[in-house]
Structure 1
């Protein structure tokens, strides 16, 4: 006797900003690939809110039940308006999860990227700049500054939040300020998912050490999967 089919699992749609950097696109594709490996049987896709296609509204237009995970490290215009609008206007059942945010997985990934760059330990950095993309959204900036405080507690090192655009201080300004205060080995913790224009700005900010973007770090993939699993039940049928 053939067993009845199990419940159908909803699709996972990762929505990222988009980048003109070929390397950045490959890194985001790697995040999608690693996510697929851990969610066999789930249709995992990637959409973009800027620069590239398809947009989330195009993917969602088929009406398939979908869990949408905004692949953004901070809340801002794209998460609230672009992703939010696409989810609200989708013809089928959709759940939009929280963005990646200052979750424990992100904190652990940031610390490990700093360690990989040589910024942690007895001969590591004596000050850190948490370099984020930046936003005009006050809650997004507050989220980044709170994350900087958490990193400072973990690293037992001063950590200053700074931004590549749309907010102050800029990353290079923060590095210069720390130099003026007498810090001799300054690291930039790159609070970005992928290489591109903002990551290039951070690398050129004058720090002694600059960590790599978080990319397909296992902790980031684990967080995406957790977001999916915590929000997929209402769509399973």
Structure 2
């Protein structure tokens, strides 16, 4: 099969956002709302979503559908807050298979959503909604999903440092709902034991689900004064998705190549 140039010559490359996916329906609903906002910002753009696990369509099926629909190229956006195993291994494996089956589809692989200062703006917006503002008597926990990849966790730690610099917080520390430490419970307990008069928790997750529930439950059990909601469909995330799309269009069509086995 070959693409039909008359179908795509005057259309922007479609954007396929690929999220992690969850068995919790709140998660995919939040992702869909984010990209509904993207569609509202760019009504000329074919914006599609897919998932790595639990939710249809899967990433490979969605890319194959794009090729069958006549797309000559596409931008694949890992809708993730850090670059870890999913963006470095899982998705490249999918892209390799699709490229082998449909070499006419030029794939531009965008950067993950994070890190980016706009995400910190979104964190602050959610904290404000929860009644939390930076104050010298308040310590903040930035709670993410966590990863087996130390560099992904280091990205979250750097984001905590950047939030601290925006201040004036008493302190800002990272925490991880899985795969790494400290857990949200440990982080809140340590800050309280260290004399923090008030501890707030920022939920550094895209969507609600198991991890956001764990962050909230652990944090409140240890005496956190407030826990913000996941980032969800804030305008900063939609703007950032389009920013990553534009960046990808300015680079050569490519995606990370896996090491030879």
TM-score computed with the length of structure 1 as normaliser: 0.92
Pairing partner for 1:177 from 180, 183, 190: 190
The residue aligned with 2:86 is: 78
Matched, 1:110 2:113: no
Give the corresponding residue for 2:139: 127
Q: 1:125 to 1:133 in 2, by over 3 A?
A: farther
Equivalent-residue separation in structure 1 for 2:163 and 2:93 (angstroms):
33
Kindly state the Cα deviation for residue 9 of structure 1 after the two structures are TM-superposed: 1.0
- CA-based RMSD of the aligned residues comes to 1.7
> Quick one: distance in 2 between partners of 1:60 and 1:210?
37
Contact 1:87 1:96 (8 Å CA) reproduced: no
Name the residue aligned to 1:150: 162
Matches within 5 A, 1:187-202: 187-202=200-215
Aligned residues: 230
1:21 correspondence with 2:24: yes
Distance in 2 (CA, whole Å) between partners of 1:47 and 1:60 is 9
TM superposition outliers: structure 1 runs of 4+ over 6 Å: none
TM-score normalised over the length of structure 2 = 0.83
Tell me if the contact between 1:129 and 1:174 (Cα under 8 Å) persists in the aligned partners: yes
| Residue 100 of structure 2 is aligned to residue 89 of structure 1 | no
Identify which of 29, 38, 43 aligns with 2:41. Answer: 38
Q: CA deviation at 1:78?
A: 1.0
8 Å contact kept, 1:125–1:187: no
Q: 1:16 offset after TM fit, Å?
A: 0.5
Distance 2:58 2:236 in 1: 26
User: Shift of the alpha carbon at 1:121?
Assistant: 4.9
Verify the 8 A CA contact 1:109 1:214 in the aligned structure 2.
Answer: yes
Cα distance per residue 1:177-229 (max 9 Å; x no partner): 11111112111110001110000011112221001110011011000011112
- Structure 1 gap ranges (5+): none
